[in-house]
Structure 1
Amino acid sequence: MPEPQQIKVEKTLLQRLRTYFLTGLVVASPVGITIYLALAFIDLIDRNVKPLIPAAYNPETYLPFPLPGLGLVFLFLMLTLLGFLAANFLGKYLIRVGERILNRMPIIRSVYNTLKQIFETVISENKGNFQEVVLVEYPRKGIWAIAFISSENTGEIQSKLDDDVVNIFLPTTPNPTSGFLLFVPKKDIIRLNMTTDEGAKYVISAGLVDPTSMPVKED
């Protein structure tokens, strides 16, 4: 029959092994998943773009082995060339003509304009970023939700309201790309010292990743 001391040592050893395994899992999983997704993305681009490369300009025609990422490089070069052409007078004219044709097609017009607005908003170099992380009472009084100030409200909406309001984006968890646009009086928000990146991590992790505790900002 095992001695109590021996049983205790075995339990301690198993606990340490479990801790080491979980620590290794936490360290390796993000790296492994990131590498896997990157390789899958490159493979997806290669499978769809490589067939479009003329054989005379495809290095794989002259090499005995495939070149991973060749499709991605070719796509980057083509998009860069397209951007260059679109920036000159002739390119702008052709784009205007193409947009006029698309705008005459009822369903396609809506899809095109929506996608165009989304990409211009995401890629635009002079787009605004979220300014601050705040707390707002939502969905009812006494319950608080984390949100982001997107901008000051100075337009028609503000002119219809008595209190000074700010535009607040209230994200959903764990997908912060969807959410609600709220117009909240300045006096009803609590400003936080955490950065927007920290606030986003807090939302994505559903509160599991708690930023370093900091004092609340004074209004």
Structure 2
Amino acid sequence: MTASDPKLPEHEAIYKKIRNMILFGEVRPGQGVTILGLKDAVGAGVTPVREAIRRLTAEGALEALGNRRVCVPEISAQRVDEIYFARFAIEPKMAEIAAGKITDEEVAHLDMLDARIDDAIDRGDVEAYLEGNFRFHFALYDIAQTPILRKIATSLWLQFGPSHRVVSGRYGTSNLPDKHSEALEALRQRDPEATAVAIREDIEQGLQLMTQALNA
């Protein structure tokens, strides 16, 4: 599990811990969890865990089962269609905006994050790949400074993250190519349109794998 930022308030740190458990597939689709179970898993009190569950349920990352239990929703073909329709609309736009604002230092930071992803792929480390991929995308999107779009994008990633973990584990990291190199080259050229195209194609590759898994 990713370490939390010690500067964060406790409730926010606990939220991020549980969010990352979902985002990077520690909690699998259909797996039920309880407040007490999560409390023990993250080493926190009941109150911040309950608040984190409330937020994550509102974001679509969890759904209530009753009896104080929640689960990560199972993904369906229709759910995939909706999630990716929204991703195609939102994420290339944020990348396009970011390309018009990015600095050389920010490009270098993204380059470093992508090198970590490549290393995770070479080592077959699915968890490191998933975390690195998330950090690359959202480091780019943060440059756009579009908080409304970012909030929606985070919710979308939370909803497909656990299933992405299952798919990635099934096919292995060698089958997880990306378009980050193309995006980085477009960013170096300060080319918003090419950056948006690269991110869209990157999302399309993920959709193809998810669809293939659902149809298997």
TM-score under structure 1 length normalisation: 0.22
Higher strand share: 1
Q: If you compute each CA radius of gyration, which structure gives the higher value, 1 or 2?
A: 1
